[in-house]
Amino acid sequence: MKEKVILAYSGGLDTTAIIPWLKENYDYDVVCCCIDVGQGNELDGLDERARVSGAIKLYIEDVVDEFCDEYVVPCVQANAVYENKYLMGTAMARPVIAKKLVEIARKEGAVAICHGATGKGNDQVRFELGIKALAPDLKIIAPWRTWNISSRDEEIKYCEDHDIYLPFSADNSYSRDRNLWHISHEGLELEDPASAPNYDHLLVLGVTPEKAPDEPEELSIDFEKGVPTAINGERMKVSDIIRKLNELGGKHGIGIVDIVENRIVGMKSRGVYETPGGTILMEAHQQLEELILDKDTTIAKRQISVQYADQVYSGKWFTPLREALQAFIESTQQYVTGTVKMKLYKGNIIKQGTTSPYSLYNESLASFTTGDLYDHHDAEGFITLYGLSSKVRAMKMQEVKKNNK
């Protein structure tokens, strides 16, 4: 029997061309594996396409709930946003994909895993770091770093030369990645940072704020220990909450981000991300934390959030540091329970009130009227001590200035 390779398979042109290339250059039996993280109708027709292309088997693994519960939720709890804008839809999905590829490789007794990520992008790093962390003995094959195919036209011709005729064309289109959390867009006019995105051609999950309804929409989101549990009082699993928020957010023009980001490999790249539900969820979670976390924990968590986001973006999910950061984040979520109300209106998320049984907001303290817990006279002594170092320095500078005259 021939040795087997597991191919991370999407059914697109790249991974279709890779099947005959693997057979031709490695003499492997190719087992295709499509990991369903919420791509929707992109999975239609994959069985026939993989068979026609020469694969001996196709796995379609539904990991949507695992993706949401074990990868998305920790990032929401961390408020993990890369470079202040990117909610990391692609970055969060890669580790669960790598994990499933390894599981199937073990099940099939494969000797290698192959992916179709390019040699300039982030995903090659994310896939390979995940695979190395979970299965250091498996060989990794990255055709885009070794084959002599350099264009979409050449890929189509390669397929035709191997008697594979599929509905692919050389038309100009965006490079997209989609899952339940988001969809990303790269290419075409986006390659020029001076050009405005063609949103009429580009958007998939929603509309621009200009085309959103003129009437706002109100909703509430419940959290328990930092995990979203209900919308408008209706309990549902996390994946269904994201689906519902995607629908509402897309309708009202929420979560469209145009960013020039720093890739792992050192270059800058521009992309437009649609993350309607994720943007709402992140904002709601942060609003709830405002009530519950004390000042010092809030400051520390902001620093951890930046570090955590960089770890996830850089493909370092299966590392001791990411797990240690996760432990800190989980400890901060023990009391992040409550309800956040908000209004969606033309791309905006407008706060409508937040409640929690663990709120540190004390109306008696915060009110302009005098309460039992706060004596205004105490402020004088506090300010004297709090500003003592500044006063001592100012006195010293006056003394120095006087002596130098």
Active site positions, annotated = 14, 94, 123, 175
How far is residue 338's CA from residue 354's CA, in Å, rounded to a whole number?
7
> Which residues fall within 8 angstroms of residue 121, CB to CB, at 6 or more apart?
263, 265
The pairing of beta strand 112-114 with beta strand 4-8: parallel
Cα 345 from Cα 254, distance rounded (Å): 8
> Which of 41, 33, 36, 34 lies closest to 6 in space, CA to CA?
33
CA distance 289 to 44: 41
Contact between 5 and 30 (Cβ < 8 Å): yes
- Dihedral, CA atoms, 316, 320, 326, 327, nearest 10 degrees? 180
**Which value, in Å, is the radius of gyration of the alpha carbons in the chain?**
26
Residue 14, CA distances (Å) to 21, 155, 156 in order: 11, 7, 9
Residues 6+ apart with CB under 8 A from 395: none
Q: Quick one: which of 129, 143, 123, 125 has its CA closest to 7? A: 143
> CA-CA distances (angstroms) from residue 31 to 48, 109, 123, 211, 219?
14, 11, 20, 45, 45
64 — alpha (psi -120 to 50), left (phi > 0) or beta?
Answer: alpha
Q: How far is Cα 209 from Cα 290, in angstroms, rounded to an integer?
A: 27
CB 342 within 8 A of CB 283: yes
